[in-house]
Chains A and B, each alone.
Chain A
């Protein structure tokens, strides 16, 4: 089950403050990068929920995000329905699709699960790519952002939109923590550790898996809506399996099953990509090497590594304290 500890709180507060500071002070390109990080953060929170706490390593979350983006675009731009309704329907549709995928794949484990989700993701990609209603390879444009002028906020302004994404990411983080701490989340982690036992306890395992996968899909769909609103243009590339792979990379880079870690991973990944692509066209090579190094180091990503070090330090201090205490006792005995 997910628990906050002092380090997690500290990092969370630091990250939020840094994001807020950036959102208020950065100039144009800084805001662009921040928004990119926040949207990726929402997506990897969704992925960490299923992969880190349910052992369901999904390679279709990129596609789910794409589904969210396309549903939003179709409903709002093509059908001309108000953005809030379009957003809600995008999240709902993605959730239902994810639930079905989760239910079908609930019997598969390990590499089969990875492959099965990959297959569903590619199926969505192929469909969006080919069906004329989605605009094919040329994508869809003319997507508008949410209208918050009622509250005096103009989301077409980059700074407001970055703050909006920050608020959404914060809300999604809170929702993920609540889900994982609820009975459903606990059951899921139980299933990850010992499926047989949970079944013996009378749990409908496939339902738990499908429900959490559906919730995760809703979050991924929300990330898609944000992405569509951010770029105001979408293309099938959003659903490609490499997007899912990159999301998984971010989760691992940050620290699987820590929720906070993937947030760090999202920031590190986007910054790294921009920095490297500024001085070489071969940024894939650098990202590939960094990824290999992180995974092979055996640490659970950046945050997992930090947490292990912190845990070790905490333990040593505790051990020191007890030892001192014991010594005192010995002295007093004598």
Chain B
């Protein structure tokens, strides 16, 4: 592979490797072209940063093989097969879109290759379709939004109108919120699912939301759709009468600057915010900014923690597919997001959720953390997981 990068990186120059060092082959499966290219680049940058920061803690060295999924499931599956069958990687990491994860799930499960998911959040991957070989270091769609339901109701909001793109992730994000919001006593007065990646003008839906008599609007949008949505929401003047809440991807640092003042005052919940005050986050955020000139996004931290998890697993002496899979399921550490661990019942990450408001700071828009909601494991959702072997 021409793009193979020997990523002994930081440690190679500082001291000589012990002769017994294990070489672990890592297949990095990310989109570097297509709509999610920006996400793929952020995850990769985060991944490499963690190898630099923590690579010295383990005896193992990592050889990274990078493949572009183009966000197309068939392409991604072909690349995954290549990594597993031809390059014989010991572990894979990455995967941005849920579609791609759905496509490669059976392959990695059948081939017994551990996969560290660094973004894709579909609930089934750590639910009905869970696998002892798939460990998710990012989030699940329901997990990010569930804590927000109760929190929003506690703020005195009784009636909500929801909006999201019409695809599985959009529905799961909204379902996660609705389940806890309704349980807390809230009422959903209207729900719309807009054609995914086909909707450019949200005007018709915004008019519906306005006419619904809701106290607030809760939405999930990401990427270009998030930018259009937030700007159009503001341009209709809805923000003052009908405050906008949502899943934190709506105002991700990756594109909040493109949203501009329209994003001010929007309150959302996410598993990472670049302004979390902790030494681990400061180290990470500063290093990321030094490298890219940008504030780290949740995608960057997912890449960072995915590599960190791999290093932690290798520290236990794990060095092949089976031992790595087993070790990955037991990692826990204090990262930029706070205390992280893996739920042995589903292999999904357990992490705190941050409610934050987008506010105008000295250097443009920034995130003000309003609340840290405690970590909760996802319900098993039909997952029957093989137990961890000690």
Which residues of chain B (187-203) have a CB below 8 Å from chain A? Answer: 195-196, 198
- B122 on interface, CB distance cutoff 8 Å: yes
Which residues of chain B (43-99) have a CB below 8 Å from chain A? Answer: 68, 72-74, 77-78, 81-82, 85-86, 98-99
Given contacts A233-B74, A238-B74, contact A29 B82 (CB under 8 A): yes
Complex partner residue of A139 from B68, B73, B82, B86, CB under 8 angstroms: B73
Complex partner residue of B106 from A141, A238, A284, CB under 8 angstroms: A141
- Write out the residue numbers on chain B whose beta carbons fall within 8 Å of the beta carbon of A29: 81-82, 85-86
- A147 on interface, CB distance cutoff 8 Å: no
Whether A36 and B102, one on each chain, are in contact in the complex, defined by CB atoms closer than 8 angstroms, is no
Whether A138 and B167, one on each chain, are in contact in the complex, defined by CB atoms closer than 8 angstroms, is yes
Whether A281 and B99, one on each chain, are in contact in the complex, defined by CB atoms closer than 8 angstroms, is no
Chain B contact residue count (CB 8 A cutoff): 29
Complex partner residue of A142 from B74, B106, B198, CB under 8 angstroms: B106
- A32 on interface, CB distance cutoff 8 Å: yes
- B36 on interface, CB distance cutoff 8 Å: no
- Write out the residue numbers on chain A whose beta carbons fall within 8 Å of the beta carbon of B291: none
Whether B77 and A139, one on each chain, are in contact in the complex, defined by CB atoms closer than 8 angstroms, is no
- Write out the residue numbers on chain B whose beta carbons fall within 8 Å of the beta carbon of A142: 106
- Write out the residue numbers on chain B whose beta carbons fall within 8 Å of the beta carbon of A283: 33
Whether B77 and A231, one on each chain, are in contact in the complex, defined by CB atoms closer than 8 angstroms, is yes
Whether B102 and A139, one on each chain, are in contact in the complex, defined by CB atoms closer than 8 angstroms, is yes
- A190 on interface, CB distance cutoff 8 Å: no
- A267 on interface, CB distance cutoff 8 Å: no
- B166 on interface, CB distance cutoff 8 Å: yes
Q: How far, in whole Å, are A233 and B129 apart by their CA atoms in the complex?
A: 15
Report A50 CB to chain B, min CB distance, Å.
25
Report B108 CB to chain A, min CB distance, Å.
13
Chain A contact residue count (CB 8 A cutoff): 30
Given contacts A231-B77, A235-B74, A237-B72, contact A32 B99 (CB under 8 A): no
- Write out the residue numbers on chain B whose beta carbons fall within 8 Å of the beta carbon of A28: 81-82, 85-86
Count of A-B residue pairs with CB < 8 Å:
79
Q: How far, in whole Å, are A213 and B166 apart by their CA atoms in the complex?
A: 34
Centre residue among A237, A282, A283 by max chain B CB count within 10 A: A237
Q: How far, in whole Å, are A103 and B2 apart by their CA atoms in the complex?
A: 50
Report B173 CB to chain A, min CB distance, Å.
14
Whether A277 and B68, one on each chain, are in contact in the complex, defined by CB atoms closer than 8 angstroms, is yes
Centre residue among B81, B82, B102, B195 by max chain A CB count within 10 A: B102
* B74 to chain A: closest residue by CB: A231
Whether B167 and A136, one on each chain, are in contact in the complex, defined by CB atoms closer than 8 angstroms, is yes
Contact mask A92-126 → B, CB, 8 Å, 1/0? 00000000000000000000000000000000001
Whether B68 and A137, one on each chain, are in contact in the complex, defined by CB atoms closer than 8 angstroms, is no
- Write out the residue numbers on chain A whose beta carbons fall within 8 Å of the beta carbon of B78: 32, 36, 231
* A278 to chain B: closest residue by CB: B2
Q: How far, in whole Å, are A27 and B98 apart by their CA atoms in the complex?
A: 29
- A232 on interface, CB distance cutoff 8 Å: yes
* A141 to chain B: closest residue by CB: B102
Whether B98 and A138, one on each chain, are in contact in the complex, defined by CB atoms closer than 8 angstroms, is yes
* B101 to chain A: closest residue by CB: A138
Q: How far, in whole Å, are A187 and B328 apart by their CA atoms in the complex?
A: 65
Which residues of chain A (229-245) have a CB below 8 Å from chain B? Answer: 231-235, 237-238
- 21 residue pairs bridging A and B, Cβ less than 8 Å apart: A28-B81, A28-B82, A28-B86, A29-B86, A32-B78, A129-B196, A136-B196, A137-B167, A138-B98, A138-B122, A142-B106, A231-B73, A231-B74, A231-B103, A233-B103, A235-B73, A277-B68, A278-B1, A278-B2, A278-B3, A281-B33
Closest 3 CB pairs of A and B: A137-B167, A28-B85, A233-B103
